[in-house]
Structure 1
């Protein structure tokens, strides 16, 4: 969640290089991994689950290739990182990831990430000054990682779980944000930190919004202005999902003709009224089995006195395992959920809750694979109508299949690992 806040404030702008149209599926066949001497690769993450999950398969692949991989993050996500085989480097964060109490004001939200960088950098220096990595990987929200790598004179590659910058973004987005109350003070504080933290790059926009090299772990179809992204600096490797076997499996019930997954992710789940509307919309719907994930903030008792037999209520499910067997997906349109929906070719009802999800929902509609319903409009009647329209339209099925093929053709974790090893060379 909040994945777009840090980069958007400085509105990363990069030079334009022609790239493949998002309507084309260009197959990437990963060659045999290049022979590369084992190296120390450090991943500096952010403690939001939605930022950790997209890169885990890349980390697992690098470990499998014999590299020593360390992963700096907080205990909040340690259990997610452990199965990759990376060495966990414990840090503490000031971000509100436990209670998800994020401010709505974009300047206040951006300030949280700057505060976190200021707090985390000394911890990274203590862990890595005597044990520097040969190459640093870092999350888009982990400002301290770039400061550390530059201070040590080491190369670094950003792993982006969300949009990347494009030529003209500064003029189109950054100027609007720069006019918000508090923006000048925020930028001045950021510049003061850069001047004293050891970073070589001291321009705020350059440091926070223009990575030297980035791997975008999203379908290129989801990227705004994709034809204006600098292909010399950014490579779309697509979703890096793997099997996620450690999360457990899910089996389609016998007799279920079709499966619907309803999930608002991990952060925006305090929505008992929305879940009640889903129960009313899809309960006893002939032929449909519904997996309703309600998160840890909603009590199942809030859903009503009777839960129809075709609805499976869970606080959490292995989402990818369900989507691989699903016929439709009600999602908050976070980038992770949107990417997984495209990767599995599942039509979506997008009910955005915050941050970049509204833009994601609109993009999914533009791609021809979704209907958007804002929360206030997500009644039982509108939800059922949207499901019927999506799952009976052959054009939706055709677009979903085409975008599924495109997302899988990007190369995923193996291609990402190949590109990372090229930097080591």
Structure 2
């Protein structure tokens, strides 16, 4: 096969770990294959992007920072949606200027980066969504989008949001409505395993391809060693955003502190001080951040918020999980994991020390859970991951070049 001529590929994302991290290994692989990759990203993530070999194209964002209190995102549906539209309207002119005279051959974008799709159509180049979470299925509109629309239309603010989004799309020559624009890309690579996708048999395989976890080795994040005498290891992490949960962390310490044979690694994030946990037993180590994948490779159980990243890392390392979701898609992921028979969905209000301990011990000692995890781990490896994603992106490039020649 003749090697593909190098291209200029532009990636667009927002300043959120859960949206940037899934794409990084794909970007690193494309750079390694000789492509020039530019990556439009807010300044706070520019250095992280540069480590892949891509060229950061920093832009100003109006979205809350990853360092902000998670309460900045509000509690209502419109609170969660409105900031992305406001940011898109603000960022589009700057991003257009940034790429003027250096338009790419192909656009990759995170699902929250609305300006990327507008620009791809303006430039007349292919666009591929790199989805870090579930994708739409046949029936999604009736089952998910329409109820959400009804909720938005029930308030003046929600109606104003929908009207503003529709108007912005029309001003940029896009006839789609907001739901279709966000949920129905022309081509999509789902950076999650098929096992985590609801109604996977109803997903259009001509549009969406599940390439599974694109995790890489992450050696730059450091290693973690199991302490001597630790028979079993438990990791507790609520990810990078919704971590302001001191009461929950205290329940975890109560559940596993001094539990014979168990060692707990507790990640508390930036919004909780370790002193708030009180006296911590010797078998518990507390950190603001840990190299999660490195710990999971040696862990026997995982208490997680069930974000898309953490969920697939648990599956990829065949680690039984107790899912305590905090927000957004985490509730659905928790149900999916429980349905696979590899996790227990424990609602936040039920996550007492007793319930957490009972769930972890039951999962860690169940040979059927281990068998199911092993099977999912093998199926994920077969999905292809990073190399498959890069192959499919190059396939789209080759296709458009053939059409233009």
How does the TM-score come out when normalised to structure 1? 0.90
Mapped partners of 1:423, 1:201: distance in 2: 24
Q: Is the partner of 1:84 in helix, strand or coil? A: coil
Residue 232 (structure 1) aligns with = 206
Superposed CA deviations along residues 306-330 of structure 1, whole A, max 9, x for unmatched, are: 2111111111001011111111000
Is the 1:71–1:89 contact (alpha carbons within 8 Å) kept by the matching residues of 2?
yes
2:180 to 206, 226, 229: 206
Deviation of residue 79 (structure 1)? 3.1
Deviation of residue 361 (structure 1)? 0.9
1:267 to 238, 241, 251: 241
- Worse-superposed segment, 188-197 or 117-126: 188-197
Residue 196 (structure 1) aligns with = 171
Q: Is the partner of 1:179 in helix, strand or coil? A: helix
> Are positions 1:153 and 2:127 aligned together?
no
1:64 to 29, 32, 53: 32
Map 1:33-52 to 2 at 5 A.
35-52=3-20
Deviation of residue 184 (structure 1)? 3.3
1:120 to 66, 91, 101: 91
Deviation of residue 118 (structure 1)? 0.4
Mapped partners of 2:236, 2:2: distance in 1: 41
Is the 1:219–1:238 contact (alpha carbons within 8 Å) kept by the matching residues of 2?
yes
Mapped partners of 1:245, 1:221: distance in 2: 27
2:41 to 70, 73, 93: 73
> Are positions 1:55 and 2:26 aligned together?
no
Shift in alpha-carbon separation, 1:310–1:107, aligned structure 2, 3 A: same
> Are positions 1:258 and 2:203 aligned together?
no
Residue 23 (structure 1) aligns with = none
Mapped partners of 1:115, 1:358: distance in 2: 26
Mapped partners of 1:83, 1:152: distance in 2: 28
Q: Is the partner of 1:96 in helix, strand or coil? A: coil
Mapped partners of 1:273, 1:40: distance in 2: 48
Superposed CA deviations along residues 93-151 of structure 1, whole A, max 9, x for unmatched, are: 11112413102211232111111110111111011121000101000000000001101
Is the 1:54–1:161 contact (alpha carbons within 8 Å) kept by the matching residues of 2?
yes
How does the TM-score come out when normalised to structure 2? 0.94
- Worse-superposed segment, 255-264 or 141-150: 255-264
Residue 219 (structure 2) aligns with = 245
> Are positions 1:277 and 2:251 aligned together?
yes
Deviation of residue 421 (structure 1)? 0.4
Deviation of residue 34 (structure 1)? 6.4
CA-based RMSD of the aligned residues comes to 1.3
Residue 353 (structure 1) aligns with = 326
2:339 to 358, 363, 366: 366
Mapped partners of 1:188, 1:422: distance in 2: 37
Map 1:213-224 to 2 at 5 A.
213-224=187-198
Residue 296 (structure 1) aligns with = 270
Mapped partners of 2:274, 2:4: distance in 1: 51
Deviation of residue 200 (structure 1)? 4.2
Q: Is the partner of 2:73 in helix, strand or coil? A: coil
Pick 1 or 2: higher relative contact order, CA cutoff 8 A, min separation 6: 1
Residue 388 (structure 1) aligns with = 361
- Worse-superposed segment, 142-151 or 77-86: 77-86
Is the 2:145–2:179 contact (alpha carbons within 8 Å) kept by the matching residues of 1?
no
Structure 1 residues not aligned, in runs of 5+: 1-32
Deviation of residue 186 (structure 1)? 2.1
Q: How many residues of Structure 1 are paired with residues of Structure 2 in the alignment?
A: 391
